[in-house]
Amino acid sequence: MPISSQPVHIIGAGLAGAEAAWQIARANTPVVLHEMRPVRQTPAHRTGDFAELVCSNSFRADDPQTSAIGMLHREMRGLDSLILNAADRHKLPAGGALAVDRDGFSRTITEQIRACPLIEVVCEEIAGLPPADWDNVIIATGPLTSQALGAAIGALTGERDLAFYDAIAPVVHRESVDMSKAWMQSRYDKAGPGGSGADYINCPLNKEQYYAFVDALNKAEKIEFKTFEDTPYFDGCLPIEVMAERGAETLRHGPMKPFGLTNPHDPDVKAYAVVQLRQDNALGTLYNMVGFQTKLKHGAQIEVFRAIPGLQRAEFARLGGLHRNTFLNSPKILDGAFRLRAQPRLRFAGQITGCEGYVESAAIGLIVGRMAAADRSGEAFLPPPATTALGALINHITAGHIETIDAGPSSFQPMNVNFGLFPPLTEPLEKPQGKRLRGPEKAAARKAALSARALRDFEAWVAARKVPAPA
């Protein structure tokens, strides 16, 4: 394939921008990747590396038979995803999840991008809309888009950007955890990628301790916002104290659920609730508190979290915090190829489009990168079918689901990939030995059938498109 003479410009070297640049370069099209860090930092980032993970270090469940995100992992691996390849290289023990050493992960991506001869990296902020002579642009600035660029996009579209808050969980030094009270175990002893079945630190609470913890959360000092008070939280990343406000039992049926765990220090007594910590770096010296994203003031975090059994002497490498995210009303202002209807030379990719999560952001970067490369070479690009995880996610953002599945939501909101985004099965579920499927068995069979259909349709799409095999 000949190399195109005109580059595609990408603004932002996060997960989506880095993935898009990689995919475009693989199509023999030059890329100019514009990244404002480290010239100008954001409130959430701490390095100048590309694809820095600012919140969790988990890419969530990796099993394509039981999870939609696992299906997305499978499809991205099949398309030589830069992000998934780096995640696999730097995976950490995390039960059934794919978690990564965040520093090694970002460093690898930065090195690969900078070493690619078709990718030119320019460290600068693009304030306002890109120059008019950039005819093929991907804006992948993420939820932390600079005010100048965000204002320019808003002026161009006439749309008021939607926004929400994301919260960050604390990270604890492993050596400060009291393992005479805590223990290592994955829920239901599930090993998963890079794991052993004993991948999480578990801190148990009895009923009295649990209710005292919830009461302390409700009374603790919280950060109050002077602006954007009406900005909602994303439901998939609620601060733990906001969950506690929704009811005393909410946490023990959410991030503190005790199911699938047995305390070896007291095996005959089931914990009423459990706090889990997941490995956060390759050395195993840091662990993050799973689901404990918070907007408590720093002093309150230390006081409340040290009341948890096993964490009485916890030392924190990082305390929790919040940052404001923005995203577009994509079904209204973007077309099916992620181009801005008001100015089609501009495409958008990643979280700013209204997908939520590291993997989803990278997945949209992958697809949008391929779309931009196809445009540059004058080829048509047929997106993956809606029955695949990639296709279902694309449909969510471009409003394809409104026609193919249901009447659509009353308003567009950020969304993780999930089984509810897939078109319904048209064939009946198989009944093993004539047995009628009920409850959990029926749900598991449905997920397996959706996964099998997605794999079949994805492989047919790849074959029809003659997508290059991974290098």
Q: Crossing angle for the helix pair 15-26 and 102-115, nearest 10 degrees?
A: 40
Residue 158 assigned as binding residue: no
Residue 51 assigned as binding residue: no
Residue 369 assigned as binding residue: no
Report whether 356 contacts 16 (CB < 8 A).
no
Q: Crossing angle for the helix pair 102-115 and 82-89, nearest 10 degrees?
A: 130
CA torsion sign for 144, 149, 154, 157 is negative
Tell me if residue 469 falls in helix, strand or coil. coil
Go through the chain and tell me how many residues it has.
Answer: 471
Whole-number Cα distances in Å, 83 to 108, 185, 338, 380, 409: 10, 28, 20, 25, 30
CA 100 to chain centroid: 13
Q: Distance (Å, rounded) from C-alpha 141 to C-alpha 14?
A: 7
Q: Distance (Å, rounded) from C-alpha 422 to C-alpha 417?
A: 9
The verdict on whether omega for the bond into residue 204 sits within 30 degrees of 0, i.e. cis, is no
Closest CA to 359 of 309, 415, 427: 415
Residue 15 assigned as binding residue: yes
CA torsion sign for 109, 110, 116, 120 is positive
Tell me if residue 255 falls in helix, strand or coil. coil
Q: Distance (Å, rounded) from C-alpha 292 to C-alpha 194?
A: 23
Residue 14 assigned as binding residue: yes
Tokens representing residue 130 in the block? 């890109």
Residue 469 assigned as binding residue: no
Report whether 120 contacts 31 (CB < 8 A).
yes
CA 147 to chain centroid: 23
Q: Distance (Å, rounded) from C-alpha 318 to C-alpha 53?
A: 14
Summarize the annotated binding site as residue ranges: 12-17
Binding site as annotated, residues for FAD: 12-17
